[in-house]
Amino acid sequence: MTAVGEEAPTFSLPDTDGTQQQAGGTPATVVVFTCNHCPYALAWHQRLLAVARDYAPRGVRTLAINPNDAERYPRDSAEAMRERVQSGDFDGVPYLRDDSQQVARAYDAKTTPDVFVLDAEGVVRYRGAPDADHDDPSQNAVWLRDALDAVLAGRDPQPAETTPVGCSIKWKGA
Amino acid sequence: MRVELLYWDGCPSHPKALADLREAMRAEGLDQSSIEVRRIETDAQAQLERFPGSPTIRVDGADVAPTPGEPFALTCRVYHRRDGRISPTPDPADLRDVLRSTPADTRGANR
C-alpha cells in the first residue's frame, strides 16, 4: 500500500509496443490507472491527455497503466489497448499493461481512473481523482493540475489526497 | 408500466441513475415509488437477467439505451450524452423521451 508522502513502488511494465517503461527521471510523473471499458475512465480520458500535453514541456511524464483482468474483461486485453493507442487515443502517453496486477496492488489502486503524482524523488505527492466531476469537462482535471503546479514549485499539493472515483479495478479471481 | 433499474456494486453510478430516473418519472407525472431496483451480484445472474452492465434501466422490458450484441456481464455501461460526452448514466432527456413514448394504457398504471 502506498500513501501520500511515501516512496512510490518502482515498476517496469510493457507498453503496447512491448517497450518496458518506468517512472522517474523527471521533475514529476503522473501515474494513472485506467482502462478501456470504464465510463469514468473514458469520461476523464481527454482531460488527462490534456494535462499530459500541457505539462510535458515542464518535464512531467505521464504513464497510463491498465491493470484489469483481461480474461473476464476482454475490452481491456493487450490487443484492445494496442488498438486504442494505434488509433491515436493516447496521444503519445505510454499505455502499460499490468498483467500480474502487482503494480496496482503495490500502489493500492482502487478504481479506474486512480491518479498518482510522484515528485522527482519518486515520492507520492497526490493521489485521487483528476477533479471533482467526471461529468463536467470544465473542471479540467484541476486537482491534478494544482498538484502538479505545487510539486513543480516545491510545495505540498492542497489537497494532497482525494477519493478516487470510477469503476472498481477488476482483480483476477475476484 | 414496469420500470426497472438493475445495478452492480462495482460501478458507483447507480445512485445518480436512480435519481435521474426518479426525476424523469416525476417530470412525466409517474409514480416514482413503482421503480423496481435490483442488484446483480454474479455472472450467472447477469446472464439470467440479460444484464449488459450497470446501470441498466428498462421500461416495460425495453432497455432505455439498447446496445444490441452487447455481452451480459458484471461491468459498467458506457452511455453517450446527447452532446457526445461519455457518461456512466443515460442522458436524462433520453429517459424522459422513453417514458413519454410509452403507450398511454401502460402509463396509466403508474400515475
Instruction: Give the per-residue pLDDT at B109.
Output: 54
Q: Which of B73, B76, B85 sits opposite A167 (nearest CB)?
A: B76
Peptide bond into B90 cis (omega under 30): no
- Cα distances (Å, whole numbers) of residue A77 to A22, A99, A124: 21, 9, 28
Using CA coordinates, name the residue in chain B closest to A164: B12
pLDDT tier at A7, thresholds 50, 70, 90: very high
Give the nearest partner residue to A37 out of B12, B75, B85, using CB atoms.
B75
To the nearest whole Å, the CA of B69 is away from the closest chain A CA by 14
B11 touches chain A (CB under 8 A): yes
Residue with cell 499539493: A157
DSSP per-residue codes, B12-78:
TTHHHHHHHHHHHHHHTT--GGG-EEEE--SHHHHHHTT--SBSEEEETTEESS--TTPPP-S-BPP
Length of chain B: 111
pLDDT at A6 over 60: yes
Give per-residue pLDDT as tens, A111-152: 999 999 999 999 999 999 999 999 999 999 999 999 999 999
Confidence of residue A1 (pLDDT cuts 50, 70, 90): low
Within a 10 A sphere around the Cβ of A145, how many other Cβ atoms? 18
Three-class DSSP category at A97 = strand
pLDDT value for B105: 59
Residues constituting chain A = 174
Q: Which residues of A touch B77 (CB under 8 A)?
A: 39
- Residue A53: Cβ within 10 Å count: 13
* B-proximal residues of A, 66-125, CB under 8 Å: 72-73
B51 touches chain A (CB under 8 A): no
The distance from CA B59 to its chain's CA centroid, rounded to whole angstroms, is 8
pLDDT of residue B68: 85
Who among A42, A134, A135 is closest to B78 (CB)? A42
The CA-based angle A160-A164-A169, given to 5 degrees, is: 135
- Please tell me which residue, B103 or A55, carries the higher pLDDT value: A55
Q: Is B85 on the interface with A (CB under 8 A)?
A: yes
* Over residues A61-65, mean pLDDT: 98
Number of H helices, E strands in chain A: 4, 9
Tens of each residue's pLDDT in chain B, 111 residues? 899 999 999 999 999 999 999 999 999 999 989 999 999 999 999 999 999 999 999 999 999 999 888 889 999 999 999 999 999 999 999 999 999 998 755 655 565
For position A39, what pLDDT does the model report?
Answer: 96
Rounded to the nearest angstrom, the minimum Cα separation between B87 and chain A is: 6
State the ipTM, two decimals.
0.85
Q: What is the pLDDT of residue B45?
A: 97
Domains of chain A with CATH codes: 26-168 (3.40.30.10)
- Look at residue A173 in the predicted model and tell me its pLDDT: 85
Residues of B in contact with A40 (CB under 8 A): 76, 88
More confident residue, A2 or A99: A99
* pTM listed for this prediction: 0.92
Torsion region of B55: left, alpha or beta (phi above 0 gives left; psi -120 to 50 gives alpha) = beta
